[in-house]
Amino acid sequence: MTSGASVMNQRFTFLVAGALLATCGSAAVATPAAAPPLLPLPQSIAPSQGSFRLTDQSVVVVPPGDAGARAAAERLVTLLGVNRGIRPAIVETPAKNAIRFARARGISAEGYRLEVTPGSVTITASDDAGLFYGAVTFWQLATAGKEAISAVRIEDAPRFRWRGLMLDSARHFQSPEFIKRFIDWMALHKLNTFHWHLVDDQGWRIEIRKYPKLVEAGAWRTPASAPGAPILPKTGGYYTKEQIREIVAYAAARHITIVPEIEMPGHALAPIRAYPELGTSVVPPRGIESDWGVFPYLFNVEDQTFGFLQDVLTEVMALFPSEYIHVGGDEAVKDQWKASPRIQAQMKALGIKDEHALQSWFIQRMERFLASKGRRLIGWDEILEGGLAPNATVMSWRGIEGAVAAAQAGHDAVLSPQPVLYLNHRQGGTSAEPPGRGEQVTLRRVYDFDPAPDTLTDDQQRHILGLQANLWTEHMRTEQRVAYSAFPRASAVAELGWAAADKRDFGGFVDRLVPQMARLKPMGLDASNSAFTPSAALRPAANGKGEVTLANQIGAEIRYTIDGSEPRAGSPLYAGPLTLAMPTRLRAASFRHSMALPGSLDQKVDALSVRRRDDTQLKLCSNDIALQLEDDAPAQGRRAAFLLDIMKPCWIYEDASLDGITEIAVDVGQIPFNFQIGKDIEKIVFRPPATPEGEVEVRIDGCEGERIAVLPLKPAASNPALTTLKTVVAPRSGSHDLCFTYTAKGPSPMWAIDAVQLIPRP
């Protein structure tokens, strides 16, 4: 922890709530913690003597005729009503026990000064955004658990100008009401840029009056399902112009700029489906709009296609007043351009040497159009290839190299590297996680990211506008999953974008994060507890007992019980693997400063559970395209999620104790192979099946080792949901790695393992 944070710890006695106010008028339940409950961490905090009491008689004073101050005051009053049940009156005349908004020159953009004294509170800023952010900070102090707010002087301003989240509404549609809630959560983290991904291969979500077929043909689709599975109901939707105007205004009132993304020249299946003349004369097969991956369909380079794109962007710009318009530019597979005689002839006539240069020419043409309308083009880092448009800004997603190259060339850039800022990756390592990318991106991993590349000079660093985390929603079919995947990792992104690098401390961040999540819960945010919840690894031990190893992501202490009671601060402290009699009910929770953190473990330890491994506890044989994919059945209700590498479906049960094992049971499900991976599909190979449906094979001591069990898939072939396959095995002794694969004629359908159970003799 830095010296600045240490000073705060010595001088402050803030209380942070383990469970903050959930309803208006409730009293906060608080527990001492080491740091003031402010997130993101302010630049400077100077404690003082005494405290300010916020009561029903408090008032908010705004300068006469100051619309920005009144808007910030109204937002503060609304927030205090939600979390404290107090709604101070807003007045324009001086008053005692007041929260006063004031203007002053010389405070940097979005910055503010907050002074709390025993008699008053003053929030001062040069601009409207600073007043709003000062109000947010005061709201955080006011919801720290007591009516009395410790006297303090805070000087604050953001580290970066661009502090963003990207939400993909093209793959799965979210309601306008959810978008507004999402914007609220962002604003209360001082995030200021909402990058809205509105179009892609799988969907077109924005009404364009001149081209109505875009939503008629592209707003709805039938999700993919495996052969024989019930057809799933259609999914989709689109935003009308009226809804978008309302959302843009809603965001602006919270000092969030919405940057729309209209993809080009790739990710263009949806518009080409609606208007085939925009493509390269290759007709897309029906149904592939429900696939994931990288599609080969690109816009052609005819004048009429550029006319279409300019028409679309003209309507987009009329809705979004943002300085930047995002044009995508990523993952444009050039095969159709290469195969088109027409496009090759055009390239020759234009003197363009290759398809990368053609994409550069394409983007530069669009950049000139946007510039003529007073806007700036931003795109993913592929727009660097073949030459960057003169005034383009680069969003670097393939690592940070694109941002570095852009800054070194004098271009602005935003850091958005995968996987660390791709929040569609799993954040926890257990089966409780919803579907997503297989590689884990934990809260700590996000927090440890440095958004200031050390290879740049000071002048080049000025071209780094900031950072952005992305939520790609291929596997987030519900709004609840979007919220769960975004937070609390988006809270870490907010701190990276705002707080000074030398003041960040992960332990202090956790202490400030817990009350922030509690504040937002009554505002509809159900954030993930993965970072805090203990996980358990079970295995058999000697004398008929079970061994349990506990861990959590944040390194907090773990307290546990074995009598069925809820763990408390005085419960036994976990210090190493536990050896427990069976059966036992083990309960565990993580603690900091004697305060229980969100999330808890309730684990049955018996002869079966210590020999069971779900797919998240099995080891994948490879990690080429590792995904946690949702089953396609049932159509309604909970579905299983399978962790697998779609390039090589293969799982290893490591160090399996086979002493006394007489049977093996495997829970399997079939899922559609709906992935656009081009020629790489030829790399997916299987052993030939002995029966039409194929078989699960179990091999010992390696995936080329002795085959010790075969489980025919026929019983599962007619069941679209999970099926348990079971077989007897010959006696073995000792511990061995078991490899689970299946035989098949091809990747469709794809089989996946949900869990493996080793069954001992009765």
- Read out DSSP for 587-603? EEEEEETTEEEEEEEEE
The torsion angles phi and psi of 751, rounded to 5 degrees, stand at -95, 150
Residues forming a β-bridge with 535? 551
**Cβ atoms of residues 547 and 577 within 8 Å:** yes
- Write out pLDDT tens, residues 371-423: 999 999 999 999 999 888 888 999 999 999 999 999 999 999 999 999 999 99
**Cβ atoms of residues 80 and 100 within 8 Å:** no
Q: Which residues of 104-237 form beta strands (DSSP E)?
A: 112-116, 120-125, 148-156, 162-168, 193-197, 199-200, 203-204, 220-221, 235-236
CA atoms within 13 A on the CB side of 46: 8
d(CA 356, CA 360): 6
CATH classification code of 3-156: 3.30.379.10
Residue whose C-alpha is closest to residue 492's, from 431, 546, 427, 432:
427
Q: Please state the length of the chain.
A: 762
CATH architecture assigned to 162-498: Alpha-Beta Barrel (3.20)
**Position 374: which residue type?**
G
Please report how the helices 506-520 and 489-498 are oriented relative to each other, as an axis angle in degrees rounded to 10.
Answer: 120
Residue 105: exposed, middle, or buried by beta-carbon count in 10 A (0-12, 13-18, 19+)?
Answer: exposed
d(CA 110, CA 468): 18
d(CA 559, CA 563): 13
pLDDT at 454: 87
Active site residues: 200, 267, 331
Ranges under pLDDT 70 in the chain: 1-35
Is the domain spanning 613-760 CATH 2.60.120.260? The answer is: yes
**Cβ atoms of residues 552 and 429 within 8 Å:** no
**Position 257: which residue type?**
T
d(CA 652, CA 700): 10
d(CA 379, CA 366): 11
pLDDT at 234: 94
pLDDT at 530: 97
**Cβ atoms of residues 713 and 696 within 8 Å:** yes
CB atoms within 10 A of CB 745: 10
pLDDT at 228: 81
d(CA 122, CA 91): 14
132 Cβ contact partners less than 8 Å away, ≥ 6 residues apart: 71, 72, 75, 187, 254, 255
- Write out pLDDT tens, residues 71-107: 999 999 999 999 999 999 999 999 988 999 999 999 9
Residue whose C-alpha is closest to residue 388's, from 359, 415, 418:
359
Helical H segments across 570-652, by residue range: none
Is the torsion defined by CA of 685, 691, 694, 699 positive or negative? negative
Query: What SS3 string covers 411-450?
Result: CCEEECCCCCCECCECCCCCCCCCCEECCCCCHHHHHCCC
Residue owning tokens 């609304």? 78
Q: Is the backbone of residue 65 left (phi > 0), alpha (psi -120 to 50) or beta?
A: left
pLDDT at 16: 38
The torsion angles phi and psi of 130, rounded to 5 degrees, stand at -60, -40
d(CA 607, CA 757): 11
